[in-house]
Structure 1
Amino acid sequence: MDLIGPVSRSYISQRTKLHYADWGNPEAPPLILLHGGRDHCRSWDWTAKALRDDWHVICPDLRGHGDSGWSRTGYYPVMGYVFDLAQLVVLNDLAPVTIVAHSLGGNVALRFTGLYPDKVRKIVAIEGLGFSPERQAEREAMGPEAIWGEYFDKKREAAARQPRRYATFDDALSRMHEANSYLSKEQALHLTQHAVMRNEDGTFSWKFDPHLHAWPPEDMTYPQLEALWNRIECPTRLIYGNDSWASNPEKDGRIRHFRNATVSAYDNAGHWVHHDRFPDFLEELRAFL
């Protein structure tokens, strides 16, 4: 008998218990669906349900997100997420794996694929390249004192701020819909149900760590990141929404750093293309995979 939903599983990485949803069918080729920042693994449920008959679908919660543990220091470098992904692949013997990832998850997945090009069969990154070259240049021009000063300020704010509390579930639901107006009522309800926890006083808060609002400044340089992208050997699809803040790599030139990548862009879609244009996204995804 088919499972109604996924099984919750966990593994240890960097002394932290991390959660993932396993949709079964372990004899099928492995497919990892990786969410974005301040999101959770169950945001992929529609895609997972559509693909579970042909794939062994695994949806991780990034550390500090969903039902995964929080960092004790509130420190979340991007390469730490990359290590967590590598652990998931190695411990479960998933290579060569196919990866579909969104935003922060796309950034993580592309770095992993550049580090280990032989471990990835195909990759789809939805708005996963980060800020545009123009925005990156503006940040570099700030100087270390401004960059680190801003980070320290945000860390202090995160430490002093309690997770936001919503008096009712409907209040949290309204905030979810406010964050992405393209969501249907059904989508917003499902995403919110898996995004909140109930506090002892009866209020609702998001599951993610408030320290995720403070991104550590130290990271690999942009030339190093571009060199990683250039190491990716497998077919790569980069997906963008034309109503998003994200910069299309065909227009800003970053596509030149990829050997085997194509770009698709959607009208009437923002940053969450896989929600905003789900039927069309799923059709493209099936064809590419």
Structure 2
Amino acid sequence: MNGPVSRFYFSDRLRLHYVEWGREDKPTLLLVHGGRDHCRSWDWVAQELARDFHILAPDLRGHGDSTWSQGGAYTLAEVVADLVQLLRQRAGRKVVVMGHSYGGAAALFLASLYPELVERLAVVEGTWPWQELRTQKPLADRFRDWVDKVHELSARGPRKYQTLEEAVARMQAENSFLSTDQAHHLTVHGLHQNEDGTYSWKFDNYIRTAYPFRISLDELRDLWSAVTCPTLLINGGKSWVEDPVANGAAALFPQGRTAMIADAGHWPHHDRLDEFMAITRPFLAG
């Protein structure tokens, strides 16, 4: 199968990148990657689904080949605005959405706030805000932590790798489930080469900051309860993200269902692709 076509669009004065798979006469599927990832992390899934869907896979702001935010603040609200812009420009109809982690949390807000845009929703390891907001620090502490982190990142600069192989090793250290071929693919598309010949990740390090002003747990409950489309929550049994059934998050979604991939970590679509596709393919097709 042919690879994706690379395209750009503008949102909030930023030039943002996305790739496109499949034919435009097919139903549209939006694939939203996670934090510090990039659009090509969906390649294995996209190859499986491109015959059945017109796929849009964006590089979120500050990731991949998209522009970094000015000022270094990255919020889910801004990501949702970018996704709405992309869908209004390129879809023109309700779409199927699948998001992972940070992108999964954004996809949940998208479906809640813009139900006219989302037909059905698959969320991979994206209910982490439920556990984060239950245990968050007071605002004053969050505010100071954010300022300190911004100053630290400003002084530190992006990490440099002397060779591609060194970066591949770092990728595999982050996710031990990855094969060497997977890690190489993700690394090649996730790096740029610096003027001195070294390599650095494409993502903006400021993504690591946690913006201090957040919604409350009650507000999150209200937003998730307003997701009225069919919703599939997929989690890895060996991930740090809590089981949404066990912590009560899954019960908030009126048309929610869940799937647990026992031998997967935080990236089930990389860790156990065949099992992941067996779960998601029939759901996405409706």
Is 1:136 aligned to residue 133 of structure 2? yes
**1:80-91 paired onto structure 2 within 5 Å:** 80-91=78-89
> Residue 252 of structure 2 aligns with which residue?
257
**1:1-289 paired onto structure 2 within 5 Å:** 4-133=2-131, 135-139=132-136, 142-289=137-284
State the 1:131 CA deviation. 4.1
State the alpha-carbon separation in 1 of the partners of residues 30 and 10 from structure 2. Answer: 17
State the 1:136 CA deviation. 2.6
Equivalent residues of 1:123, 1:237 under 8 A apart: yes
Alpha-carbon deviations, 1:213-251, whole Å to 9, x = none?
112121222211221111111110000111100011100
Moved over 6 A (4+): none
State the alpha-carbon separation in 2 of the partners of residues 29 and 23 from structure 1. Answer: 12
Equivalent residues of 1:195, 1:207 under 8 A apart: yes
State the 1:132 CA deviation. 4.5
Task: Give the structure-1-normalised TM-score.
Answer: 0.96
Root-mean-square deviation (Å): 1.1
State the alpha-carbon separation in 2 of the partners of residues 9 and 257 from structure 1. Answer: 36
State the alpha-carbon separation in 1 of the partners of residues 139 and 114 from structure 2. Answer: 31
Equivalent position amino acid for 2:75 in 1: P
Unaligned runs of 5+ in 1: none
Equivalent residues of 2:128, 2:241 under 8 A apart: yes
State the alpha-carbon separation in 2 of the partners of residues 118 and 247 from structure 1. Answer: 30
Query: Helix, strand or coil: the match of 1:80?
Result: helix
Query: Helix, strand or coil: the match of 1:251?
Result: coil
State the alpha-carbon separation in 2 of the partners of residues 69 and 179 from structure 1. Answer: 24
State the alpha-carbon separation in 1 of the partners of residues 207 and 158 from structure 2. Answer: 11
Count residues in correspondence. 284
State the 1:118 CA deviation. 2.3
